[in-house]
Structures are given as structure tokens and as C-alpha cells.
Amino acid sequence: MRPVGRSWWLAVVACSGAVVLGHLLRELNIVLNPLAWSSAEIISALLSFTIAASVLVRYYGTGNRISLLLGLTFGVTGIIHLSAIFEFYDHFLKPSEQVRVPVSWMIGQTLLGLLLLVACVINKWLPWPRDPGKNVVALSSIVLSATCLVSAAFLIFPSTPAIRPHSPTPRAWELLPAAIFLIAAMALNSAKESDGFAFDTALVWVAGLNVASHLIASQSARLLDASAGVAELVNAISYIVLLGATLLDNARLFRRVRTLAISDSLTGLANYRHLIDVLHGELERSGRTNRPFSLLLMDLDGLKKINDHHGHVIGSRALCRVATILRLNSRSIDTAARYGGDEFALVLPETNVSAAEQVVERVRNCLLADTEVPQLSLSIGIATFPKSGVTIQQLLEYADRALYAMKEQSKRGRMEKRKRT
């Protein structure tokens, strides 16, 4: 069976199960406390506001316009949840009238389902300006217009949602948002991107859980019976699922931003900023313990020639090869960094001069054993705290002088070799 067909069959089975569950709950002689229902609405409103804030943070971190649309939508939904409490008590205090479903509940849920459906196609159908401010204005206009249209549809309609206890479907109005959420769930599932974000998967679950919530509520014969209570619980669970997914994605985004802030984009090693932070930390630690640490400053020989003869792609590849060798010869406590264009650094805690020289020898042996063309070589200078200096600047300058002394020595050696030949 094709995946699309399987999804439809699962949807049919799940919807049927929700209707059966609602019918069974309808037979139970349970009446919920109005205070409990009000508390559930307040919790749902708070969850909506929290989701709105988290999703808007996601928008400013990723530029994803669907996040902005849904953030604004959940903000409006939270306001509607709060207004539903006042409407509920208005109905509750008038027992002689026909019991009706709170219109605000229907407006909020229908609006959420409709805008979930709009979110599936909005990026493809509408051209968007590059200016983030204009995006905010455009999407705010869409959410405001949808809110006005949905509210007008329910408020102008001659008969507000009524509960008919003896009908096979006492709250038939609930089938409308259920159908909208079902279409949105199928559309979101097919349009879901495989970018690893939990938010996209959670949207499908939110739509699906709201389908179940409205189908269960459609069997509610009283305003506060078991079916209505379970429907409210499932609705709150859908918000919790989305909030959890949003927080998880935000945590991943913050971790990614932090990694990008301290790492070099080409080699993946620490960048200059993180190198200086590590050196600060080592100076403080070694100042307390009176233990040495070493700094290796390295320069890739002949990078310009590699770029001229082989191209910049091979030149970038050469930098990555050096980075890989540094990683292989580093301990977990060491920090390998890209110091500049063709310069690298390696911070070696708890390492004296002789141990640092052994690291230099291992790095050179790895370069010699590398058979990839072109052959690479490094000029390396060593500075050790406190012998070579007691500040970051002193250590860097000492290592830099040692590096260029080695470069000059290598040049003289090559020149003498040419003279002899």
C-alpha cells in the first residue's frame, strides 16, 4: 500500500476511534466542576501565549515565515481562550436557556485549524518581501483578517452552536473544525520538510490531536460532561506537544549559534575568539597551580603556491587536511584553532616544552605520511608558560618569532641544498 493510502486509512481508523470514545464517555454520568474547566481554559491560554513567544523566537532565529504566522495565531488563540471563560459563565448562569457551545471556543479552534491549513501553502503561493518588518505586517494582516472573517461567520450566523442531547451528534458544529484540522494534518504531513526540526513533526500531531478533540467533543451531550472534559484535555495536550517541540528546536538553534560563534566555518576548529578565551582560562588556571602549558603556533607553508597551481578549492582542502591532523593529535583537553588565514594554533594544557616538541614531531610525521597531493608542510613555533611569557600577547609573540625563525631556517636549508645540486 502506498504511504498516502496508508495515511488515509490510519486517519479513518483514528477518527472512528475518537467518535466511539466520545460516545462511550457520553454514557458516563459525570459532570465536571466549572472551576476545573475554567482552569483548563486558563492553562490553554497560557500555553498559547508561551507557544507564541517561543515560535516568534524561532522565527527571528531562522527567518521561517510559517513560524511567524503560527506565533501570531497562537497569540490570538490565547486571547480567545480567556474570553471563552467569561462566555462560559454567562451560559452557566442562565440554565433556563438552551445550552450552547461557547462561540469563542468554536472561533478559536476554527481559526487555528484554518491558519494551520494556510501555513501549508503560504510560502508557495505568496511572494514575500525580504524586509522582516514587512513580513510581520503582511502576516499580521493575514491573521487579523482571518480572525475577523471567522468571528463574523459565527456571530452573524442566525443560530449559535447549540447542544442537542438526543441527537446522534449532539454538538454537530464540532465537525467543521474537525474537518479543517484533518485536511491540515494531511497537508502538513505531505509538506513536512526533512530538516530535522521537531516543530514540523509536532504541527502534524497538533492538527491530528485537535481532530480527535473535536470528534470527541461532538459526542458531548452536556456542556461539562466526560466527553467535553476529555476533549479539553486532548486539546491541551496538543499545545503541550507543540510547546515541547518548539523549546527543543530553540535549544538546538541556540546550541548551533553558540557553536558557530566559537568555531571556524571552513575547518570546524575553534576560531580566534575562542582561542583567546581558552588562553585566558589557561593563564588563570596555570597561575593558580604553577603548572606549565604550551602554545603551538603553526603556518601552512606555500598556501599561495597551492592556490595558484591547484586552485582555491584544493587550497581550502589543504587547510581542512591540516585541521584533521591537528584533531587526530589532540587530547580532549587540548584546543586546536584556526588562528588566521593559513595559521593554526594548538593549546596544550599541562604540557612542558619537551612534551610540546613531541606533539610537533607527531604532527610533522602525520603530514609526511599523508599521500594526498599536494604534499603539505608546517612551520611551527612553541611558547610555554611561564618561561616564554606570562600574558597572551607575550606568548603569541614568542611563538610567532619561533615560527618565523623556523621558516627562515627552512628557507636557508633549501637554498643551500640547491647550491650543492
| Buried b or exposed e, range 332-352, using 16+ CB within 10 angstroms | eebbbbbbeebbbbbbbbbbe
User: Who wins on pLDDT, 134 or 249?
Assistant: 249
- For residue 313, give every residue at least 6 positions away whose Cβ sits within 8 Å of its Cβ, in sequence order, or none: none
- Identify the weakest region by mean pLDDT among 1-5, 7-11, 301-305: 1-5
Q: Are 210 and 175 in contact (CB under 8 A)?
A: no
Please give the pLDDT value at position 1: 40
Q: Say yes or no to pLDDT of 343 above 80.
A: yes
Bridge partners (DSSP) listed for residue 343? 299
Phi, psi of 351 (to 5 degrees): -135, 125
Q: Per-residue pLDDT for 95 more than 70?
A: no
In which residue are the cell numbers 581550502 written? Answer: 316
Lowest mean pLDDT among 18-27, 146-155, 385-394, 409-418: 409-418
Q: Does residue 2 surpass a pLDDT of 50?
A: no
The pLDDT of residue 167 is: 82
Task: Pick the closest to residue 247 from 4, 14, 58 (CA basis).
Answer: 58
- Residue 80's region, left for phi above 0, alpha for psi from -120 to 50, else beta, is alpha
Specify the DSSP element, H or E, that contains 337. strand 335-338
Q: Work out the average pLDDT over 223-231.
A: 84
C-alpha cell at 369: 605520511
- B/e letters for 131-159, b = 16+ CB within 10 Å, e = fewer, are eeeebeebbeebbeebbeebbeebeeeee
pLDDT digits (tens, 9 = 90+) for 66-89: 888 888 999 998 888 888 777 766
Residue 260: its pLDDT value, please? Answer: 81
Sign of CA dihedral 77, 79, 85, 91: negative
**Alpha carbon of 279 to those of 106, 287, 297, 363, 395: distances in Å?**
61, 12, 13, 21, 10
pLDDT at residue 193 greater than cutoff 70: no
Residue 322 · residue 378 · CB < 8 Å: yes
**Range of weakest confidence among 249-253, 345-349, 368-372:** 249-253
- The pLDDT tens digits of the residues spanning 311-340 come to 999 999 999 999 999 998 899 999 999 988
Q: Which residues pair with 270 in a beta bridge?
A: 263, 337
Q: Would you say residue 296 has pLDDT above 90? A: yes
* Cα–Cα distance, 356 to 346 (Å, whole number): 10
What letter would DSSP give residue 98?
A: P
pLDDT of residue 308: 87
Give mean pLDDT, residues 101-110.
80
What mean pLDDT do residues 386-397 have? 92
**pLDDT tier at 151 (50, 70, 90 boundaries)?**
confident
Alpha carbons 375 and 62: distance in angstroms, whole number = 41
Ordered by where they begin, the domains of the chain are 3-262 (1.20.1070), 272-420 (3.30.70.270)
Residue 93: is its pLDDT beyond 60? no
What's residue 96's pLDDT? 44
Position 416 scores a pLDDT of 67
pLDDT single digits (tens) 197-216: 788 888 888 999 999 999 99
Residue 158 pLDDT > 60, yes or no? no
pLDDT of res. 196: 63
User: Which pLDDT score is estimated for 124?
Assistant: 62
* Cβ neighbour number for residue 50 with a 10 Å cutoff: 18
pLDDT of residue 224: 79
Q: How confident is the model over 126-146, as pLDDT tens digits?
A: 555 556 677 788 888 889 998
Q: What does pLDDT average to over the chain?
A: 84
Closest CA to 16 of 246, 266, 211, 249: 211
Q: DSSP secondary-structure letter at 341?
A: S
Percent of the chain at pLDDT > 70 equals 87
Which range, 17-31, 61-75, 333-347, has the best average confidence (pLDDT)? Answer: 333-347
DSSP for residue 302: T
Mark 373-388 as b/e (b = at least 16 C-beta within 10 Å).
eeebebbbbbbbbeeb
